[in-house]
Structure 1
Amino acid sequence: MAESSLVNKLFTVNSLNKLVFEHDTRTFSQAIQEIGGAMVGQTNLDAIRHLYAYMSKKHRNEYFYKNALLNKILLGRHSMNTTSALRELPVAGNILDFLIINGVGQVYEIKTELDNLKRLRQQVSTYYQAFSFCNVVTDESHLAEVQKILDFPQVGIILLTKRNTLHVVRNSEMYNEGLKHETLFKLLRKPEFERVLLRCCGQLPQTSQGRYYRACLAQFKGLDILEAQGAVLRELKQRAAENKKYAEPFARVPVELMELVYFSGYRQADFAELEDFLVQQVGEA
């Protein structure tokens, strides 16, 4: 459906940046024309809210789910001062949809009504190699099948209801038996695993450049697995800490755009430019 394709394309970091900073309104204007109808005299914020409302009723895509998680869990239950989020994190050949770190790491694997469930069990098993708490967030149309596939009780199941609320069907429980040093280690960038080794071991391996990575991994494997996991979570949380610098202007971002802005690395001037764009009338240069 053309309208669905347009909202998929519009609600991305790249599209928002083009719209706000490059004044490239092609996708935005087309979406308004196809979905919004006549919006003469209304603001760009009005148009975005109208398009988002269409998405909430007709096409709840992955962005809609991620935005719900950010708004209702990270911002609704926790605080940007104490909690961080990461998205699309590579984990042992899979891409983890959403991770919230608040003392522990809570994985959220998203299965929208538009997705199939063929790889679900394998994906969750992989995430348990690095994280102790996993949840699947899904739609009513998938709920019974998700419950059947995830017949092990430690996996949390969350339903995005028709009213767009998050309903916990089953709470996640701690499960550490699947943790693997190598999977944890591979989540880290070089400066991150070097900090972990210096902090936990007091030194880095003295070896040739060609053997350095494997030597660092071997040293990391000497750590207790829960100590290793805690050190990795600390680094991942720090990776997302840039988002906390501008909590005050971020609080003024419309709910519909929170997830996009959170992961865009905005600076003070960027927030001001976004605000200027949102108050302009549709079609205003």
Structure 2
Amino acid sequence: MESDVLLNKLFTVNSFNSLVFKNRNQTYLKAIEDILGNTGASETNLKNFQSLYHYMARSHRNEYFYKNALLNKILLGRHSVRTSTAIRELPIANNILDFLIINGVGHVYEIKTELDKLDRLQNQIASYFEAFSFCTVVTDETHLEAVREKIDQPQVGIMVLTKRNTLHVDRKAVENTNDLRHETMFKLLRKSEFETILLDEFGRLPEVNQVEYYRTCLLWFQNINILKAQQLVLKQLKLRGYINRDKQQLFDRVPSELKMLVYFSDYTQNDFDHLQAFLSHRIGDVV
């Protein structure tokens, strides 16, 4: 459906911020017209987004809906933005993991909505276990039996986004450290991150030409005990968190429907203020 396509496009970081800060509202206006009709024109932007999200909850639980549920119910519900970090769409071993939460351990959440196929699931999970020790597949009730059949590893957790939009643990994830690979973990790191690790561990960096530098850094990293290496990598990845202590109160004011869009946007205080002004206004109002 066209309305579903519009929602997929609207509930992305780039599209949302283009609307809030640049007034690029074509997708937003079309979504309101198609889904909310005339009522949307007289409502605040906050009310419209809540109504669009409610429509998604009933009729189109897309990937954003799943990720936002994980952010609200696990990162914010069980943990805290002060102690935990969420990372999305992280490239790893020829795959891209959907959602990662780091809180002492790294827990991957692989999303399989009712709209997704399962043919790549086993390969995806195998790649995630090369860097992280906990993995859970998050799926719809209609997919549950198929996921159970597809996943024969007892270490892999299964979680269901129920019809009531709660997260139910069907099978708890169990730690798996048998498949960790130094090279896979190393490739997750930015240059500054692996240099920090090597400096802390060896007190210096390789003195080789640029052609050999990356390969030599990897060789040094491979000399670190693999469980310790994993913890060092998690420490660096955790520092990528967008919401620090100074921003937490501002982030707390963001509506739950929009948490994921804002979490991954690295807002300044002025950005948060602008967002609140945008949400309180109606379509067409100058913010």
- TM-score bracket for this pair, using the shorter chain length: over 0.9
Give the match for residue 238 of structure 1: 239
How do residues 102-141 of structure 1 correspond to structure 2 at under 5 angstroms?
A: 102-141=103-142
**Shift of the alpha carbon at 1:267?**
0.5
Matched-pair contact (CA < 8 Å) for 1:243–1:265: no
Deviations along 1:103-159, whole A, 9 cap, x unmatched?
000000000001000000000000000000001000011100101111110001000
Whole-Å separation in 2 of the counterparts to 1:245 and 1:97: 27
Judge which range, 228-237 or 39-48, deviates more: 39-48
**Shift of the alpha carbon at 1:38?**
1.7
Are 1:42 and 2:53 matched, yes or no? no
Deviations along 1:240-280, whole A, 9 cap, x unmatched?
25555411111000111000000011100001111001001
CA-based RMSD of the aligned residues comes to 1.0
Are 1:25 and 2:29 matched, yes or no? no
Whole-Å separation in 2 of the counterparts to 1:186 and 1:205: 17
Whole-Å separation in 2 of the counterparts to 1:194 and 1:41: 54
**Matched letter for residue 19 of structure 1:** L
Give the match for residue 211 of structure 1: 212
Whole-Å separation in 1 of the counterparts to 2:215 and 2:9: 41
Give the secondary structure class of the aligned counterpart of 1:38.
Answer: helix
Give the secondary structure class of the aligned counterpart of 2:278.
Answer: helix
Give the match for residue 263 of structure 2: 262
Give the match for residue 252 of structure 2: 251
Are 1:83 and 2:84 matched, yes or no? yes
Matched-pair contact (CA < 8 Å) for 2:242–2:266: no
Give the match for residue 16 of structure 2: 16
**Matched letter for residue 273 of structure 1:** H
Runs of 5+ unmatched residues, structure 1: none
How do residues 126-275 of structure 1 correspond to structure 2 at under 5 angstroms?
A: 126-275=127-276
Identity of aligned residues (%): 57
Whole-Å separation in 2 of the counterparts to 1:130 and 1:256: 31
Whole-Å separation in 2 of the counterparts to 1:61 and 1:244: 31
Give the secondary structure class of the aligned counterpart of 1:37.
Answer: helix
**Matched letter for residue 130 of structure 1:** A
**Matched letter for residue 8 of structure 1:** N
Whole-Å separation in 1 of the counterparts to 2:246 and 2:259: 15
Whole-Å separation in 1 of the counterparts to 2:14 and 2:217: 36
Matched-pair contact (CA < 8 Å) for 1:243–1:262: no
Give the match for residue 53 of structure 2: 52
Whole-Å separation in 1 of the counterparts to 2:154 and 2:232: 27
**Matched letter for residue 37 of structure 1:** G
Whole-Å separation in 2 of the counterparts to 1:25 and 1:42: 15
Give the secondary structure class of the aligned counterpart of 1:126.
Answer: helix
**Matched letter for residue 153 of structure 1:** P
Deviations along 1:23-68, whole A, 9 cap, x unmatched?
1221111111100112243211111011011111111000000000
Deviations along 1:170-211, whole A, 9 cap, x unmatched?
110000110000000000011100000111222211212211
**Shift of the alpha carbon at 1:236?**
0.1
Give the secondary structure class of the aligned counterpart of 1:275.
Answer: helix
Give the secondary structure class of the aligned counterpart of 2:116.
Answer: coil
**Matched letter for residue 82 of structure 2:** N
Specify whether residues 279 and 57 from structure 1 end up closer, same or farther in structure 2 by C-alpha distance, changes over 3 A only.
same
Matched-pair contact (CA < 8 Å) for 2:242–2:264: no
